[in-house]
Amino acid sequence: MPDLAVVIGRRNTPLTDCYWIQSAPCGCIASLTTTTKPRGRGVNVLETAEQAHRHMVPLKRERDDENRRGFTWQLVTKVRYHAEIGTRWTCQQHRKDV
């Protein structure tokens, strides 16, 4: 597999150290995927937000619907994800325990 890296906050991060996360317009996290997926004997690398979206939501109609509703994808490092997001997927507005 090629050694892909992305620059996040000025730091070079291997793509494999990141997750793709999808957020709703309010800030709730809707879904998450790793950047690599086994495919046959090889590995499928999700390099772009669009590839991640296509992997998670195979139906174009549903992807278009999510795009219309303002869902976005962003690449976050696994370190940052586990430090800042973890299981807190719900935005302040939708959090029930606040």
Amino acid at 58: P
Nearer to Zn ion, 12 or 93 (CB): 93
Residues touching Zn ion, count (CB under 5 A): 4
Nearer to Zn ion, 60 or 88 (CB): 88
Which pair of tokens denotes residue 19?
A: 């997750």
Under 8 Å between Cβ of 25 and 5: no
Question: Residue 18 class from Cβ within 10 Å (0-12 exposed, 13-18 middle, 19+ buried)?
Answer: buried
**Residue that has been written with the tokens 């719900």 in this structure:** 90
Of the residues 28, 30, 32, 45, which one makes contact with Zn ion according to CB under 5 A: 28
Of the residues 1, 14, 25, 26, which one makes contact with Zn ion according to CB under 5 A: 26
Binding to Zn ion by residue 85, rule CB under 5 A? no
| Contact set with Zn ion (CB under 5 A) | 26, 28, 91, 94
